[in-house]
Amino acid sequence: MKYLVSILSISILMSCSNSPKEEVQNEEPLVEELTSVQIMEESHHKQEFLSNDNIKFDIRLNFGGKERLNGTMTLATNSSQGLIETKDGNKVYFIKDKVYCSPEMDSKSARFSAYTWSYFFLLPYKLNDEGTIWSESEKVEMNGNWFNTQRLTFTSGTGDAPEDWYQIYSDTDKNLLQVAAYIVTAGRSVEKAEEDPHAIQYLNYQMHEKIPFAREWKFYGWTKTDGLTDTLGNATLYNFEFVADNDSLYTPPANFLSN
pLDDT above 60 (res 25): no
Whole-number average pLDDT of the chain? 89
The whole-number pLDDT of residue 6 equals 41
pLDDT at 22 over 90: no
Between 46 and 186, the higher pLDDT residue = 46
pLDDT computed for residue 167 by the predictor? 97
Confidence of residue 186 (pLDDT cuts 50, 70, 90): confident
Q: How far is 163 from 153, CA to CA, in rounded Å?
A: 7
Q: Which domains does the chain have, with CATH numbers?
A: 36-258 (2.50.20.10)
- Please state the three-class secondary structure of 151-197 as a single string: EEEECCCCCCCCCCCEEEEEECCCCCEEEEEECCCCCCCHHHHCCCC
Mean pLDDT of 189-196: 93
Please check the confidence at residue 199 and state whether its pLDDT lies above 80: yes
In order, the DSSP letters of the chain are -HHHHHHHHHHHHHHHHHSPPPPPP-PPPPPPPPPHHHHHHHHTTHHHHHTSSEEEEEEEEEETTEEEEEEEEEEETTSSEEEEEETTS-EEEEETTEEEE-TTS-HHHHHHHHHHHHHHHHGGGSTT-TTEEE---EEEEETTEEEEEEEEEE-TT-SS-TT--EEEEEETTT--EEEEEE---TTS-HHHHTTS-EEEEEEEEEEETTEEEEEEEEEEEEETTTEEEEEEEEEEEEEEEEE---TTTT---TT-EE-
* 20 vs 159, residue with greater confidence: 159
The tally of CA atoms less than 13 A away on the side-chain side of residue 240 is: 18
pLDDT at 156: 86
Q: Which pLDDT band holds residue 3 (cuts at 50, 70, 90)?
A: very low
Q: How far apart are CA 48 and CA 63, in angstroms?
A: 31
Between these two residues, 246 and 13, which has the higher pLDDT value?
A: 246
pLDDT digits (tens, 9 = 90+) for 217-226: 999 999 999 9
69-128 pLDDT, tens per residue? 999 999 999 999 999 999 999 999 999 999 999 999 999 999 999 999 999 999 999 999
Percent of the chain topping pLDDT 90: 81
Q: What is the CA radius of gyration of the chain?
A: 28
